[in-house]
Structure 1
Amino acid sequence: MKQDPIESIAEILLTKSSIKQKTYRNVCKAFKQLKKEAKSVIDELRSRTTDRDEDVKLEVESVNDQEFHVHVAGDLIVFVLHTNIITLPADYEYNKSDYVQDQPLRKYMGQINVYNFMADSFEFNRLNDPGYLLARLLINYENHFVVEGDRQIGFMFESVSAKSLEKVDLTVLIKLIIAQAAENDLIAPPFPKIRNITVREKLEKTQSLGAGNKIGFQMSYQNETKA
C-alpha cells in the first residue's frame, strides 16, 4: 500500500501558511512605516513651500489600515496594502534569480501598490477619470524587497534587495514617488476627440469634457496597446 500523502500535504500547508503569515506581518509593518515616512516628507515639503504659496495642498490622509492618500498640489497618490500574499509569474527575473532558486519559499510576496490620480477626479466624483500605477513594493518573509516602477524608481531598485527593508529605503521610495507624480503634467485630449459629447458624459463630468490625462497614464496605455 502506498504511503498516505495526508501527512506530506499537511506539512506543505503548514510551511506555506507560516511563510505567508511572516510575509504579511512584514508588509503590514512596511506599510505603517511608509505612512510615517510620507508624513515626514510632506511636513518637510510644507515647511519649504508654505511661505511661498499657501494654496499648494500637501497632506497625508489615512483612509483605513490598508489605504492612505498623499495630496501633492493637484495630484492624489494612493497607497494600497493588499491583504493577499502573491507569487509573480514564473518568467519574472525575480523568480529566475539565484536568490529564489536557492529557496523557493522566497517567491511568496506581500504587495503595496501606489497609484497616481488627479485630485479633482475624487473631489468632483469623476468616476471615469483614469489613474495609473506609479510603483509596486513587494516584500517576502525575509523582509527582502523588490520595487517595480518607471524611470528613477525602476533605476534605483533594479533587483531584489541584498538586505532587509530599512527606513531609509522607504524614505527614498516616497521621495521618488512624489517627485514622479509632481513631474508628470496633464495632457489635454485632441480637439476632434472632444468635439461631441453625450448628456451622460456631461453629467458624469468625464474626460470628454476636456479634462487632461496624466502623461504617465497615457504612456502606459500606449505601451499596452502596442504590445
Structure 2
Amino acid sequence: MQQDPTENIAEILLNKSTVKQKTYRNVCKAFKQLQEVATLLIDVLSAKTTERDEDIKLRVESINDQEFHIQIAGDLLVFVLHTNIITLPADYEYNQTDYVSDQPLRKYLGQINVYNFMADSFEFNRLNDPGYLLTRLLINYENHFIVEGDRQVGFMFESVSSKPLEKVDLDILIKLIIAQAAENDLIVPPFSKIRNITVREKLEKTQSLGAGNKIGFQMSYQNETKA
C-alpha cells in the first residue's frame, strides 16, 4: 500500500509559503529604502544644480506602495515593485550556481523593475511613447540579490551577492541608474521616415510628432526586430 502523500504535500506548501513571505518582506523593505535613498540623493543634486540652473527638474514622487518616480530633467525613472514572487528559467545563470543548487528555495525571488521614459510622455499623456527596462533588482528570502542592467549597472554587481542587501548597495545602484539615464540621449527617426503623416496621426499625436526615442530603447527594439 502506497504511503499517503498528504503530509509531504503540506510540508512543501508550508516551506514554499514561508520562503515566499520572507522574500516579499525583503523586497518591500528594499523598495522603501530605494525611495528613501533616492529622495536624499535628489536633495543633494538639487542643491548642486539650482544655483546654476533653476529650471532643471529634479524630484521624487510616490505614486503608491508599489510605484515611485524620479524625474531627472527630461527623464522619468519609474520604479515598480512586483507583488508576485517569481523564479527564473531553469537555464538561467543564477539557477546554475552552487548557491541555488545547495538550497533550491533560494530560487524564489522578489523583483523591482526600473523603467526609463521621457518625462514629457507622462506630462502630455502620450500613450504610445516607448520606455525601456533599465534595471531589474531581484531579492531572495536570505536578502541576497541580483542586479541586471546594461553597462555599469550590470558590471558593478556580482552574479549573486555574497552578502545580504544593505542600504549602501541601494545607494550605489540609484546613482548608477540616474547616471545611465542622464547619459542616454534622444534620437529621432530619419527625415524620410516622418515625411508623411495622416490626419489621424496629427490629431492623435500632436505633442509627439518629431519626438525622439531614448537610445537604449531603440537599440533593444532593433535587436528584437532582427531576431
Per the normalisation by structure 2, the TM-score is 0.97
Gaps of 5+ in 2: none
Give runs of aligned pairs for residues 71-220 of structure 1, distance below 5 A. 71-205=71-205, 209-220=209-220
Q: Tell me how far 1:7 sits from its aligned partner.
A: 1.2
Mapped contact 1:127–1:204 kept (Cα < 8 A): no
Q: Following the alignment from structure 1 to structure 2, what is the Cα–Cα distance between the partners of residues 37 and 162?
A: 22
- TM-score w.r.t. length of structure 1: 0.97
Q: Distance in 2 between matches of 1:203 and 1:5?
A: 63
Contact 2:186 2:213 in 1 (8 A): yes
In the alignment, residue 50 of structure 2 is paired with which amino acid?
Answer: T
Note the C-alpha offset of 1:195.
1.3
Aligned letter for 2:3?
Q
1:142–1:164 Cα contact (<8 Å) kept:
yes
Contact kept in structure 1, 2:58 and 2:70, CA below 8 Å? yes
SS at match of 2:172: helix
Q: RMSD of the TM alignment (CA)?
A: 1.2
Q: How many residue pairs were aligned?
A: 227
Instruction: Report the Cα distance in structure 2 between the residues aligned to 1:32 and 1:174, rounded to whole angstroms.
Output: 13
| CA–CA distance in structure 2, aligned partners of residues 127 and 13 of structure 1 | 42
% identical equivalent positions: 84
CA offset digits 1:129-176 (Å, max 9, x no partner): 000000000000000000000000011014100000000000000000
CA distance, structure 2, for counterparts of residue 89 and residue 38 of structure 1: 31
- Structure 2 CA distance, aligned partners of 1:30 and 1:71? 20
Q: For structure 1, which runs of at least 5 residues remain unmatched after alignment?
A: none
**Correspondence 1:5-84 to 2 at 5 A:** 5-84=5-84
Q: 1:196: how far off?
A: 1.5
**What's the offset of the Cα at 1:208?**
7.0
- Paired AA for residue 119 in structure 1: A
**Cα pair 2:126 2:208 within 8 Å, conserved:** no
Q: Structure 2 CA distance, aligned partners of 1:157 and 1:202?
A: 45
C-alpha separation between the residues in 2 aligned to 1:25 and 1:210? 44
Q: More displaced, 56-65 or 192-201?
A: 192-201
Alpha-carbon distance in structure 1 between the residues aligned to 2:208 and 2:76: 21
In the alignment, the residues of structure 2 paired with residue 208 and residue 52 of structure 1 have an alpha-carbon distance, to the nearest angstrom, of 30
Measure, in 2, the Cα distance between the counterparts of 1:186 and 1:126.
Answer: 16
1:207–1:226 distance in 2 versus 1, CA, 3 Å = farther
**Partners of 1:20 and 1:206 in 2: CA distance:** 46
8 Å contact from structure 1 (residues 194, 208) kept in 2 = no
Query: Does structure 1 conserve the Cα–Cα contact (< 8 Å) formed by 2:117 and 2:131?
Result: yes
**Structure 1 residues 127 and 12, CA gap change in structure 2 (3 angstroms):** same
Residue type matched to 1:40 in 2? L
Aligned-partner Cα distance in 2 for 1:226–1:100: 34
User: Are the equivalent residues in 2 in contact too, given 1:197–1:209 (CA < 8 A)?
Assistant: no
Query: 2: CA distance between counterparts of 1:208 and 1:40?
Result: 33
How far residue 201 of structure 1 moved from its aligned partner, in angstroms, is 1.9
User: 1:206 offset after TM fit, Å?
Assistant: 6.9
Paired amino acid for 1:22: K
Alpha-carbon deviation of 1:222?
1.6
Output the CA distance in 1 between the equivalents of 2:82 and 2:25.
12
